[in-house]
Amino acid sequence: MNIAVYPGTFDPFTNGHRDLVQRAASNIFDKVYICVAENSKKDTVFSLDERIELAEKSLVNIDNIEVIGFSGLLVDFAKKLDAKVILRGLRVVSDFEYEFQMSSMNKKLNQDIESIFLTPSESYAFLSSSLVKEIAQLGGDISPFVSKEVKVALEKKYK
């Protein structure tokens, strides 16, 4: 079975994340685990449980996926899930250095796991969780960028 993990902070999960999971799960992998990082270096607006719940609610109707929280090293978690691939999105050139460093380090930590990158669909190339949060905080309309559930949750946070 061809299993991938798709790790991230997902604070919060966006339509760009959904697009990537959908393409990966329908065309490339038998199973995709969306792995929500607990102790990310970033300060998050949403708790781990909230981030998991919002990802799940944004991903209804896709069968061969599962959302799980994790802490500790990603490569160890991927091994536990029997995944041979770490899937990441690569949007713009500025993503590259960070992704290159992470994938090289993950490869050093476990040579059996490959990192694979998907570019976003054109309409999501500019989208990021941080921009969505900034727009929500300033009262802008985020409905084109996130699920209904995420929109409501963000509006509640910034009320």
Position 74 contacts ligand PNS (CB under 6 A) = yes
Residue 55 · residue 147 · CB < 8 Å: no
Token pair of 22 as six digits = 């959908």
Position 21 contacts ligand PNS (CB under 6 A) = no
Q: Which is nearer to ligand PNS, 63 or 90 (CB)?
A: 90
CA–CA gap between residue 29 and residue 6 (Å, rounded): 11
Residue 138 · residue 131 · CB < 8 Å: no
First to last CA, the chain: 45
* Residue 129 appears among annotated catalytic residues: yes
Distances (CA, A) of 28 to 15, 63, 93: 19, 14, 24
* Residue 157 appears among annotated catalytic residues: no
Q: Using CB under 6 A, pick the residue from 37, 59, 83, 142 that binds ligand PNS.
A: 37
* Residue 91 appears among annotated catalytic residues: yes
- Min dist CB 55 to ligand PNS, Å, is 12
List, by residue number, the catalytic residues: 17, 42, 91, 129
Q: What does the binding site for ligand PNS look like in residue numbers (CB under 6 A)?
A: 7-9, 37, 40, 42, 73-74, 102, 105-106
